[in-house]
Amino acid sequence: MKNLSWTLVAVSVLLLIFTIGVALGGQATPPKKTPELLQTGKKLFEVNCTPCHGPKGDGKGPVGAALKPPPNDFTHPLSQWPKTKGVPQKIFEVISKGIPDTGMVKWDQFSEQERWALVYTVMEFATPSKPAPAKKMK
């Protein structure tokens, strides 16, 4: 009976931790990036994000021109993205919660799957980082 009580306590704690994690940021592990997920993201981006971020993801949408600060330019290398450094979980959080004192509103009306689709879509705009120059051998 004592082992059963501890098992119930352990399961309850794990369930609580999982529930809090979902409430705070959604899915802990991103879903697999698939062509279908990207297609969903592209459709959502086109309708909801291009007014500010532009169709090329460069932050030059018609509404974005009036925003202070201006919308993020997703065409920079991921490591140069100001709030997220291109980390998928951080991008998901920005999409889910928005950025205070900016034009970036939260998009929590979309399902988790749709928000992950947007994460992968905006990451597609990024230019690859340039490799560090090779050191000359002496």
Helix-helix angle 88-97:2-25, to 10 degrees: 70
9 within domain boundaries: no
Number of domains in the chain: 1
5 within domain boundaries: no
Taking the whole predicted model, whether its pTM rises above 0.85 is answered as no
The CATH code of the domain that includes 32 is 1.10.760.10
> Which domain covers residue 113, as residue numbers?
24-124
Burial 55-71 (b: 16+ CB within 10 A, else e): eebbbbbeebeeeeebb
43 within domain boundaries: yes
70 within domain boundaries: yes
Residue type, 115: R
Question: Shortest CA distance to 122 belongs to which of 46, 60, 34?
Answer: 46
78 within domain boundaries: yes
- Measured CA to CA, the distance from residue 115 to residue 127 in angstroms comes to 21
pLDDT in tens, the chain (138 residues): 566 554 444 444 344 444 444 444 455 689 999 999 999 999 999 999 999 999 999 999 999 999 999 999 999 999 999 999 999 999 999 999 999 999 999 999 999 999 999 999 999 999 987 766 667 666
